[in-house]
Amino acid sequence: MKVLKFGGTSVGSVDSIKTVIEILENNIAKGEQIAVVFSAMGGVTNRLIEIGKMAAAGNAEYMEFLKVVEERHFVVVRGMINVKNQSSTFAAVRGLFNELGDILKGVSWIRELSERTLDLIMSFGERLSTLVISEILKSRGVAAEFCDARNLIHTNATYGMGDVDFEITNKQILEYFAKRSALQCVTGFIASTGDGITTTLGRGGSDYTASIIGAALDASVIEIWTDVDGMMTADPRKVANAFTIPSISYAEAMELSHFGAKVIYPPSLQPAFAKNITLKVLNTFNTDFIGTFVQKAADKKDYAITGISSIDEIALVNIQGSGMIGVAGISGRLFTALSENNISVILISQASSEHSICFSIDPKNAIKAREVLEKEFSHEISLGYIDGISIEKNLSIIAIVGEGMKKSTGVSGKLFSVLGKNGINVVATAQGSSELNISVVISKSDLSKAL
């Protein structure tokens, strides 16, 4: 069994869907047993979020925006299914849009958009793209079946990024697939709680869906089909001379993706890694290209560094004070308080003087982080043991990643000197003892130059 996943751009237009169908039919012709996961059509998830927010704000214009999204799906049906088979697909698509329209009407009445409702609204993106493509396949004589991943993947009720319950999920996937012979077209990104409430796996989560299913079924390979030539040394949209990394380890891929390489969603690496299944990152728009193999051990490379990632926008939180020196448990309390409030930490740096700890977070969590920490350390702040919590914004992170760094000296020297020579100030830095990653925090205005 091989699991394929096609991202938003790959299913974003009639032309690209034609290529997707070709890739699938080639696999079938070769006698491969496959399952396929689809993202929403490119841009649709963002649009649905916008539409939900408009409805919640009482802006009736959301209906026009919804019509545009509907039309994008109709264009695909018209372009890919012959006239005599179109009507049932049109009816099914219309049915989903009616359902979504009702939900949005509810949102606009109560003027409230909870995370839970937003997950439900977003789920329509993958349900629609997958429905349409499964119907296209059927109209071409392929024995295909729409599979709603909400029936297979179960998460807790953390809306926006559900935590997968692998015990039940794996069992459900195995039971489901054991009874099916048709090609399963699976909705990426979406899941549900045990009591049937729709959840999502986090933005970019369709990669995760593919990995969860591939791992549960002991797939021979998981193919992530996207819009670039595999995992590259840097984001090709930001660095013109970035080039493909032919072979990369799970650990390196995890570091690169955690630090901004959105070509693969970081949690997706874990299920594949646990089962030692090769992940291939391939380009739908350059199908002959070999792409990237993500495996336990990567082939030897010519360079100490495998790739460079960046996160455009972070906030740096600094907590300092003389009362922190030598006091056990401060960082334990700090990170527990953040985690209890769902604030995830991107990078941590503490000097051995223990006078200060600084860490970076998503700027949208900055206000909450300050509140949480001022509450947690109110006693220490009132006694003057901790000076207070400062937050700096308009910063970015650059990370250089590579297993080759373990064996070579002078990599960090080179990094800092090249930044220094170019007048780029380093605000904070972190290197894990695994020596897989050196990260530096710099001003956002220096990011493209630094890259």
262 binds ligand ADP (CB under 6 A): yes
Q: How far apart are CA 299 and CA 303, in angstroms?
A: 12
Whole-angstrom distance between the N-terminal and C-terminal Cα of the chain?
A: 39
399 binds ligand ASP (CB under 6 A): no
Q: Which tokens hold the place of 302?
A: 């010519």
Contact letters (x/-) for ligand ASP, 24-43, by CB under 6 A?
---------------xx---
400 binds ligand ADP (CB under 6 A): no
267 binds ligand ASP (CB under 6 A): no
232 binds ligand ADP (CB under 6 A): yes
227 binds ligand ADP (CB under 6 A): yes
Closer residue to ligand ADP (CB): 39 or 139: 39
Residues in the chain, overall count:
451
267 binds Mg ion (CB under 5 A): no
> Which entry of Mg ion, ligand ASP, ligand ADP, none binds 188, CB below 5 to 8 A by partner kind?
ligand ASP
Kindly state the helix (H) or strand (E) to which residue 283 belongs, with its residue range.
strand 278-283
Q: How far apart are CA 71 and CA 44, in angstroms?
A: 12
The window from 67-75, 79-87, 110-118, 204-212 that contacts ligand ASP (CB under 6 A) reads 204-212
If you write DSSP's letter for every residue of 12-64 in order, what string do you get?
SSHHHHHHHHHHHHHHHHTT--EEEEEPPSTTHHHHHHHHHHHHHTT-TTHHH
Angle at 332 between CA 329 and CA 335, to 5 degrees: 150
Closer residue to ligand ADP (CB): 39 or 108: 39
Q: How far apart are CA 228 and CA 284, in angstroms?
A: 8
254 binds ligand ADP (CB under 6 A): no
Which position's Cβ is nearest ligand ASP? 206
Q: Which tokens hold the place of 48?
A: 């649905």
Q: Cβ(8)–Cβ(130) under 8 Å?
A: no
Closer residue to ligand ASP (CB): 177 or 189: 189
Return the SS3 of 290: coil
Find, among 259, 199, 188, the residue nearest to 226 by Cα.
Answer: 188
Torsion of CA 411, 413, 414, 416, to 10 degrees: 120
Closer residue to ligand ADP (CB): 204 or 321: 204
52 binds ligand ASP (CB under 6 A): no
Judged by CB under 6 A, how many residues of this single chain contact ligand ASP?
13
204 binds Mg ion (CB under 5 A): yes
204 binds ligand ASP (CB under 6 A): yes
240 binds ligand ADP (CB under 6 A): no
The window from 146-154, 169-177, 256-264, 294-302 that contacts ligand ADP (CB under 6 A) reads 256-264
125 binds ligand ASP (CB under 6 A): yes
The site for ligand ASP (CB under 6 A) is made up of 7-8, 39-40, 45, 125, 188-189, 203-207
